[in-house]
């Protein structure tokens, strides 16, 4: 954990002054804003049964494969290409502290973008208070549930991004890898969505394996719970396990880079 | 301190080996560096200089052998050693978008400096590398190569390291700038040990106490300038400019010293004189004796006589050439293609 | 240490760490899957089971499976999706409930059943689109069925063409999962409340309660009551019996004086217009049936003329009625207004219903504006006290101009209103009393049934049932009410929040500019930061 705070500060500063962060956020937020506006406009005709706020959360979650690479691809790949990683490693910094610092910075920026996206409903509230109430924006538990969902999925997504960034020297490759991994992950979760299984007592090996896969298997099933303000602990913990796994793998990979 | 009463070497390397795939980068090198020494690492490209320096700075592990830096066993705790050293990597990669002061601040934080001590150390490091305030406020990406190199050195000096490892510190520096670097090392001499690698021989010759010449992953020579001269140039070389024939001259010299050999025979542009280069392995006294004898000999007309002192370049070439030749034989013997290809290079050049 | 050893160690460490990392992740995933803790942030914890349900689930003595073969597909009609959404949240709450026999929820696809340990085979379920409750001992109960009849032919007039959406709405409506349907737009009804917890609890309790068929309604005899076998066009109760049998309920008679305990198959007891006093033993049987045996009692008392009976008010049932919060004075409802009587039959019209809460027995009568034909009535009042384990409701009243005469046999006609002793109108004629779940459980009356008292037995007589549509509707409601498993009336329905937006085009345009401000702020801060970082 040596130097975690300094790495975090440095990374945040790096993201803060990097134009690519702003460009990516601008495009992402623009698209999301347009999408959300049209969603609100056509809300009465959609088959959306969850609170309208959750549409934004879903948009951010499924848009993450396009956003997270911009936040994570530079972290290790670019530093490796430039050789600054070596300079960094010559200081007394632990690999885990380094990975954790970079991951926290990426997650922090992801959350900032989420917070900016959540400004859309707030602006709607500011401009049209009655409409916001009739859209359920005044229900605090929807906000808390949505934020918790975004935070934990953001954590695992950025961890995947950091891992992809460790694997290669080319940041484009890292970005594409992140995109692919996250898309596959979301696809796997969406594919198994709704296939409820009685997992309290797995009876055979395949079920056992499926349970072990954790969030990969039906990871989004509880999304509707979060949307209505129920925090499902197992979903949070599954993502935490995933985050832990990918950060661990990243640390090992950074260690391996030295050899 | 105990270190002063019984001086421990800052760097102690025993039989270090490192292999990159098929290429054996280090073939068992051993050396040690004492406190306050400035040691230069010399060697052709691919000799293993950078590898050695990276191993010593704890960035990569060796395959076998032992290494201790500042009393820390590198094999056991390579992370620990980073607290005691300053390292300037080859090519000195720096984050382009940061300002110099921001970068140094970050590095100082990483190295555990805080508060007023941090500010003080940054100021001292900037001063030591002759980086004025105007430069410190600029973005690293916009700096010239020389300034970047100095930023890298300033970073290496930040945390009062006991050992500073500089991989090619003067590359890309103009003579004035390298003089500044030299001056900086001179100033810190005694407190800090320096280990630097370089291609520029005059540089190393000028500032290093001791040199280690590496070739093909082996130490081919080690010692002070005098040691090296003695080691490699055991023959005294002298030049004679004369209008006499080669045979007459050789005959006259052989009379005094049987072992004396003619090395080169070049024409001098003016007149019809020629420059003969002889070597003797009986030392300078013999050369002087030869001169006296030649002057006395009236049949010969000697217009110039000079005993030439071998410089580091000669030593370097000699040392590495010897190694190349050994390599050549070994390479052929082992049918080692890579070695063969490398071994042809110096011959053709 | 030699690097060789260090390297070997490091490689070993690496492998150990990799293996450890993966197995830890796997293991944690496994452990975490078992955690079903959820934090319900909604106000009143509306997504968690109510305390009443939990208390009832804790008393279950056998496991119950909930099996859902309704697939969660985006192609389903919106109302079905809404239903699956609400049901999912509810089933989760059921699964998480910490009860001795946990409710197990199985979501199955009938087309791809699991290879072994197939619960579908065990309960012989083959149809899709079902929600059912099942227990190994008591078989299955279908809670919800949705037939998506794609084959309906729009050109075949014998087959009504209905959209899947409309079929789905009907299925949902019939299942009773939702209530408070309101028209939102263009004739589309949207539910206002989700009664899923109550509905599921009812089925679960039905399955989990001891396997015993309680399908008989007993009419008492021996006190001059009207008989269900009596086909008399005026007094008999054979029409009522017919209505009961239509609902698959057996009807029998019973002399309380000759039995020691109520028969096990007794669902309800009807005491229709008794003329004689109930003995203490009979009252004890009745009390036991009502209080301990989930008995339902319908008591229809006519005004009593005999003065001899006045020392035992309400034919000796007064103490029992009083316990249940019902006061049934020996009075007669008098109405001076001619228009409140039927011109030909002389039947008295009851048109006033309970105003605020709409009880299921009178709700549709109120909505449709039915009037009830009655004869001479007596008042049936409710005395609600906060300590009482029972809560009563007065449902039907006489007209505003009427009043109840005390000691009416002695009054002259037309009577003078005695403000001190008489009861001012509207006078309640039909009242019900049910246990109040919280207080009843405190008082040890967890198995209490429910009691309905009618101020006139004629309302359900053959004559009135034949001639009065309102009476028939009322009788059906009463039978349904008696038959239904109403143990958990206190489970609050979840109010569904429906989201809507109505903004004009201009407002949407304005909203667009509002939204545009966010990315623009980002862009400008980016420009600002790069200007700050700029170097000349």
Q: Spell out the per-residue pLDDT of chain C, length 536, in tens.
A: 788 888 888 889 889 999 999 999 888 888 887 787 888 888 878 888 887 788 778 777 778 888 888 877 777 788 888 888 888 888 888 888 878 888 888 887 777 766 666 777 778 887 788 888 888 777 777 888 877 665 555 566 565 566 777 778 878 877 778 877 877 766 777 788 888 888 888 788 777 765 446 678 999 988 888 888 888 888 889 999 988 887 778 899 989 888 888 888 888 999 998 888 888 899 999 998 888 888 889 999 888 776 555 677 778 888 889 888 998 888 888 888 888 888 888 888 888 887 666 788 888 888 878 888 998 898 999 987 777 888 888 889 998 888 888 888 788 878 888 888 888 878 999 999 988 877 777 777 777 788 999 999 889 999 888 888 889 889 988 888 887 755 544 577 777 777 878 888 888 888 888 899 999 999 999 999 999 888 75
Distance CA C241, CA C250 (A): 9
| Cα gap A155→B307, rounded to integer Å | 75
- Where does the pLDDT of residue A13 fall: very low under 50, low under 70, confident under 90, or very high at 90 and above? very high
Question: Alpha carbon C137 to chain centroid distance?
Answer: 25
> Looking at the domain assignment, is residue B325 inside a domain?
yes
Measured distance CA(A83)–CA(A76) in Å, rounded: 10
* CA–CA min distance B58, chain A (Å): 7
Q: Between A2, A9, A86, which is nearest B93 by CB?
A: A86
**Alpha-carbon gap, residue A198 to C118, rounded angstroms:** 12
Looking at residues A124-153, what average pLDDT do you find? 90
In a domain, B157, yes or no: yes
Reported as type and span, the H/E element at residue B276 is strand B274-280
Same-domain status, B122 and B155: yes
User: Using a CB-CB distance cutoff of 8 angstroms, which residues of chain A are in contact with residue B93?
Assistant: 82-84, 86-87
Residues B148 and B48 in one domain: yes
Contact C433, C451 (CB under 8 A): yes
Q: Does B337 share its domain with B299? A: no
Evaluate whether residue B298 is within a structural domain. Answer: yes
Mutation choice for A interface testing from C72, C109, C514 by most A CBs within 10 A: C514
B292 & B340 share domain: no
Q: Does one domain contain both B157 and B260? A: no
**Residue B142: which residues within 8 A CB-CB, separation 6 or more?**
C535
Average of pLDDT values for A62-68?
Answer: 91
Structure tokens at C48: 């968690």
Q: Work out the minimum CA distance from B94 to partner chain C, whole angstroms.
A: 17
Confidence (pLDDT) at C150: 58
B-chain residues within 8 Å CB-CB of C1?
66, 73, 75-76
Could you tell me which residues come within 8 angstroms of residue C414 by beta carbon, excluding any fewer than 6 positions away? Answer: C336
Q: Name the minimum distance, in Å, from the CA of C79 to any CA of chain A.
A: 9
**CATH code of the domain containing B142:** 3.40.50.300
The pLDDT tens digits for B158-211 are 888 889 998 888 777 788 878 888 888 888 887 888 888 887 777 787 788 888
Clarify whether residues B45 and B173 are in a common domain: yes
Is the Cβ pair B62, C3 closer than 8 Å? yes
Tell whether B253 and B302 lie within a shared domain.
yes
Give me the pLDDT at residue B309, please: 66
Q: Distance between CA atoms of B256 and B262, rounded to whole angstroms?
A: 14
User: Is C535's CB within 8 Å of B139's CB?
Assistant: yes
Name the DSSP letter for residue C439.
Answer: H
> Of the given ranges (A140-154, B161-175, B229-243, C98-112), which has the lowest mean pLDDT?
B229-243
- Chain B residues with CB under 8 Å of A258 CB are 59-61
Taking CB atoms and an 8 Å limit, are B66 and C2 in contact across chains? yes
Of the candidates C2, C533, C535, the beta carbon closest to that of B64 is on C2
3 state DSSP class of B137: coil
List the one residue out of C152, C146, C204 whose CA is nearest residue C174. C146
Q: Of B230, B265, B283, which marks where a domain is finished?
A: B230
Query: In angstroms, rounded to a whole number, what is the distance separating the alpha carbons of residues C451 and C287?
Result: 11
Shortest Cα–Cα distance, A127 to chain C (Å): 8
**C491: its two tokens:** 């489970």
Beta strand B64-69 with B11-20: parallel, antiparallel or unpaired? antiparallel
Residue A19 near chain B (CB below 8 Å): no
Task: Give residue A65's pLDDT.
Answer: 93
pTM (whole model) above 0.80? no
Confidence of residue B325 (pLDDT cuts 50, 70, 90): low
Contact B61 C535 (CB under 8 A): no
Name the residue with tokens 């406009």. A41
Indicate whether B208 belongs to any domain. Answer: yes
B321 and B295 together in one domain: no
Of B60, B61, B110, the CB nearest to A3: B110
Give the count of alpha carbons within 13 A of C241, CB side only. 17
Q: How would you classify the pairing of strands B72-73 and B64-69?
A: antiparallel
Interface check for B212 against chain C (CB to CB < 8 A): the answer is no
Across B279-288, average pLDDT: 77
Neighbour subunits, B (≥3 Cβ pairs < 8 A): A, C
Find, among B190, B293, B203, the residue nearest to B251 by Cα. B293
* pLDDT, greater one: C221 or B324: C221
CB A167 within 8 A of CB A177: yes
DSSP string, chain A: -TTHHHHHHHHHHHHHH-HHHHHHHHHHHHHHHHHHHHHHHTGGGS---S-THHHHHHHHHHHHHHHHHHHHHIIIIIHHHHTHHHHHHHSS--HHHHHHHHHHHHHHHHHHHHHHHTHHHHHHHHH-HHHHHHTTTT-HHHHHHHHHHHHHHHHHHHHHHHHHHHH-S-HHHHHHHHHHHHHHHHHHHHHTTT-----SS--SHHHHHHHHHGGGTTTTTTHHHHHHTEEEHHHHHHHHHHHHHHHHHHHHHHHHHT-
Q: Which of B89, B97, B112 sits opposite A90 (nearest CB)?
A: B89
Report DSSP state, residue B189: B
Mean pLDDT, chain B, as a whole number?
A: 79
Domain count, chain B: 3
Domain ranges of chain C: 43-208, 216-483, 506-530
* pLDDT recorded at residue A27: 92
Most confident of A161-175, A209-223, B316-330, C411-425: A161-175
Nearest-Cα distance to chain B for A103, in Å, is 17
Domain enclosing residue B320, as ranges: 312-348
The CATH code belonging to domain C216-483 is: 3.40.50
Q: Are residues B248 and B179 in the same domain?
A: no
**Taking CB atoms and an 8 Å cutoff, what residues of chain A touch B59?**
86, 89-90, 258
**Residue A142 pLDDT > 70:** yes
From C25, C32, C512, residue closest to A245, measured CB to CB: C25
A91/B110 Cβ within 8 A: yes
Say what the pLDDT of residue B3 is.
Answer: 40
Interface contact flag, B61 C3, Cβ < 8 Å: yes
**A41 vs C contacts (CB less than 8 Å):** 501, 503, 508
Domain boundary among B209, B230, B251: B230
CB-CB neighbors (< 8 A) of C74 in chain A? 47
Nearest to B185 by CA among B164, B159, B158: B164
Nearest to C522 among A34, A116, A259 (CB): A116
Q: Say if the Cβ atoms of B82 and A90 lie within 8 Å.
A: yes
Pairwise CB contact (< 8 Å): C7 & B61? yes
- As for the ipTM of the complex, it is 0.87
Chain B positions touching A3 (Cβ under 8 A) are: 109-110
Cross-strand bridge partners of residue C353: C396
CB within 8 Å of C78: residues ≥ 6 apart = A47, A49, C165
Q: Is residue B213 part of a domain?
A: yes
**Measured in whole angstroms, how far is the alpha carbon of residue A12 from the centre of its chain?**
17
Cα B31 to Cα B12, B56, C329: the distances in Å are 6, 12, 117
pLDDT at A252: 92
- Name the percent of chain A lying above pLDDT 70: 89
Q: Which residues is C299 bridged to in the sheet?
A: C271, C453
Return the partners of chain A (3 or more C-beta pairs < 8 Å). Answer: B, C
Cα–Cα distance for residue pair B73/C265, rounded to 1 Å = 89
Indicate if B84 and B46 belong to the same structural domain.
Answer: yes
Task: Give which of A85, A113, A124, A117 is closest to A101, Cα–Cα.
Answer: A85
The reply to whether residue C3 touches residue B65, judged by beta carbons under 8 angstroms, is yes
- Give the span between the Cα atoms of C228 and C237, in whole angstroms: 4
Closest-CA distance of chain A to residue B150, Å: 15
Contact A114, A29 (CB under 8 A): no
* Contact state of C1 with B76 under an 8 Å Cβ cutoff: yes
With CA atoms as reference, report the closest residue to C384 among C322, C313, C446. Answer: C322
The whole-number pLDDT of residue B103 equals 92
List residues of C whose CB lies inside 8 A of any B CB.
Answer: 1-7, 10, 533, 535
Task: Say how far apart CA B98 and CA A16 lie, in whole Å.
Answer: 12
Whether the CB-CB separation of C138 and C211 falls below 8 Å is answered with: yes
- Among B183, B200, B230, give the residue marking a domain's end: B230
Q: B51 to chain C: which residues are within 8 Å by CB?
A: none
């Amino acid at each position: 954990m040596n130097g975690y705070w300094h790495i975090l500060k440095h990374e945040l500063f790096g993201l803060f002054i990097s134009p690519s962060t702003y460009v990516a956020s601008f495009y992402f937020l623009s698209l999301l804003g347009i999408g959300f506006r049209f969603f609100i406009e056509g809300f009465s005709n959609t088959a959306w049964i969850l609170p309208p706020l959750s549409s934004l959360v879903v948009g951010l979650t499924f848009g993450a494969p396009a956003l997270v690479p911009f936040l994570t691809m530079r972290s290790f790949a670019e530093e490796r290409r430039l050789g600054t990683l070596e300079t960094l490693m010559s200081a007394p910094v632990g690999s885990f502290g380094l990975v954790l610092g970079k991951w926290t910075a990426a997650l922090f920026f992801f959350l900032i973008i989420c917070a900016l996206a959540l400004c859309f409903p707030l602006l709607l509230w500011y401009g049209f208070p009655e409409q916001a109430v009739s859209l359920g924006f005044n229900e605090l538990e929807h906000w808390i549930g949505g934020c918790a969902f975004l935070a934990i999925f953001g954590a695992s997504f950025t961890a995947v991004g950091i891992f992809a960034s460790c694997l290669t020297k080319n940041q484009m490759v890292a970005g594409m890898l992140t995109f692919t991994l996250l898309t596959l992950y979301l696809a796997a979760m969406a594919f198994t969505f709704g296939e409820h299984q009685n997992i309290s007592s797995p009876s055979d090996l395949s079920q056992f394996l499926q349970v072990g896969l954790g969030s990969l298997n039906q990871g989004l099933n509880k999304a509707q719970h979060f949307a209505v303000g129920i925090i499902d602990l197992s979903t949070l913990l599954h993502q935490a396990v995933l985050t832990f796994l990918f950060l661990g793998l990243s640390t090992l990979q950074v260690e391996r880079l030295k050899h | 301190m105990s270190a002063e009463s019984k001086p421990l070497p800052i760097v102690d390397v025993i039989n270090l080996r490192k292999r990159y795939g098929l290429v054996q980068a280090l073939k068992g090198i051993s050396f040690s560096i004492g406190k306050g020494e400035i040691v230069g690492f010399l060697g052709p490209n691919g000799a293993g200089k950078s590898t050695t320096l990276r191993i010593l700075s704890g960035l990569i592990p060796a395959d076998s052998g032992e290494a201790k830096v500042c009393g820390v066993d590198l094999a056991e705790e390579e992370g620990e050693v980073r607290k005691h050293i300053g390292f300037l990597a080859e090519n000195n990669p720096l984050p382009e978008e940061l300002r110099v002061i921001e970068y140094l601040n970050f590095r100082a934080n990483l190295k555990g400096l805080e508060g007023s001590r941090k500010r003080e150390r940054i100021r001292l490091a900037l001063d030591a590398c002759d980086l004025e305030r105007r430069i410190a406020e600029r973005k690293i990406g916009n700096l010239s190569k020389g300034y970047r190199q100095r930023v890298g050195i300033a970073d290496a000096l930040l945390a009062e390291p006991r050992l500073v490892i500089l991989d090619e510190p003067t590359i890309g520096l103009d003579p004035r700038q390298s003089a500044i670097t030299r001056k900086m090392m001179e100033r810190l001499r005694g407190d800090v040990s320096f280990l630097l690698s370089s291609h520029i021989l005059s540089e190393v010759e000028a500032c290093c106490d001791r040199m280690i010449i590496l070739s093909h992953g082996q130490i081919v020579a080690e010692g002070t300038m005098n040691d090296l001269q003695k080691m490699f140039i055991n023959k005294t070389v002298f030049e004679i400019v004369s209008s006499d024939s080669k045979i007459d001259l050789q005959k006259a010299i052989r009379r005094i010293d049987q072992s004396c050999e003619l090395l080169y025979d070049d024409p001098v542009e003016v007149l019809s004189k020629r420059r003969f280069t002889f070597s003797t392995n009986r030392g300078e006294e013999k050369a002087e004796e030869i001169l006296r004898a030649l002057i006395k000999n009236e049949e010969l007309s000697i217009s110039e006589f000079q005993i030439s002192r071998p410089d580091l370049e000669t030593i370097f070439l000699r040392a590495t050439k010897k190694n190349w030749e050994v390599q050549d034989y070994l390479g052929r013997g082992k049918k080692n293609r890579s070695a063969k290809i490398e071994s042809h290079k110096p011959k053709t050049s | 240490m030699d690097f060789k050893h260090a390297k070997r160690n490091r490689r070993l460490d690496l492998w150990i760490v990799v293996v450890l990392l993966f197995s830890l992740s796997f293991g944690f995933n496994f452990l975490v899957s078992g955690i079903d803790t959820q934090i319900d942030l909604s106000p009143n914890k509306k997504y968690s089971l109510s305390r009443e349900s939990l208390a009832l689930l804790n008393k279950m003595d056998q496991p119950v499976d909930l099996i859902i073969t309704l697939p969660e597909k985006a192609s389903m009609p919106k109302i079905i999706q809404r239903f699956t959404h609400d049901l999912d949240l509810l089933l989760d709450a059921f699964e998480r409930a910490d009860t001795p026999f946990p409710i197990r929820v199985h979501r199955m696809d009938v087309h791809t059943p699991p290879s072994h340990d197939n619960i579908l085979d065990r309960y012989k379920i083959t149809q899709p689109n079902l929600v059912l409750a099942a227990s190994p001992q008591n078989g299955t109960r279908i809670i919800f069925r949705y037939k998506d009849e794609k084959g309906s032919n729009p050109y075949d007039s014998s087959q009504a063409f209905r959209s899947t959406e409309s079929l789905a709405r009907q299925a949902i409506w019939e299942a009773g999962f939702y209530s408070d349907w309101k028209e939102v737009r263009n004739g589309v009804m949207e539910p206002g409340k989700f009664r899923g917890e109550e509905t599921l609890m009812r089925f679960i309790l039905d399955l989990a309660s001891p396997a015993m068929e309680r399908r008989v309604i007993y009419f008492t005899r021996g006190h001059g009551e009207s008989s269900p076998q009596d086909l008399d066009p005026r007094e008999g109760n054979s029409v009522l019996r017919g209505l009961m049998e239509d609902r698959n309920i057996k009807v029998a008679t019973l002399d309380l004086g000759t039995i020691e305990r109520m028969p096990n198959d007794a669902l309800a007891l009807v005491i229709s217009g008794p003329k004689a006093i109930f003995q203490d033993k009979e009252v004890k049987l009745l009390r036991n049936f009502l209080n301990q045996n989930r008995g339902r009692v319908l008591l229809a008392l006519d005004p009593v003329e005999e003065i001899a009976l006045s020392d035992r008010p309400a034919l000796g049932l007064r103490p029992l009625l009083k316990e249940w919060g019902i006061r049934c004075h020996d009075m007669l409802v008098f109405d001076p207004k001619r228009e409140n009587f039927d011109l030909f039959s002389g039947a008295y019209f009851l048109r006033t219903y309970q105003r605020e809460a709409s009880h299921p027995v009178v709700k549709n009568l109120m909505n449709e504006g039915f009037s009830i034909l009655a004869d001479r009535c007596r008042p049936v009042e409710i005395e609600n006290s906060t300590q009482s384990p029972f809560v009563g409701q007065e449902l039907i009243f006489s007209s505003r101009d009427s009043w109840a005469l005390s000691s009416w046999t002695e009054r002259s006609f037309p009577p003078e209103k005695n403000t001190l002793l008489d009861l001012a109108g509207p006078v309640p004629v039909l009242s019900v009393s049910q246990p109040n779940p919280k207080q009843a459980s405190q008082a040890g009356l967890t198995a209490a049934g429910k009691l309905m008292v009618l101020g006139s037995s004629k309302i359900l007589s053959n004559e009135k049932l034949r001639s009065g549509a309102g009476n028939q509707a009322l009788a059906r409601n009463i039978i349904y009410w008696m038959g239904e498993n109403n143990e958990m009336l206190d489970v609050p329905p979840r109010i569904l929040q429906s989201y809507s937006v109505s903004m004009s085009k201009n407002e949407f345009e304005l909203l667009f500019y509002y939204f545009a401000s966010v990315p623009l702020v980002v862009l400008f801060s980016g420009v600002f930061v790069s200007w700050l970082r700029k170097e000349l």
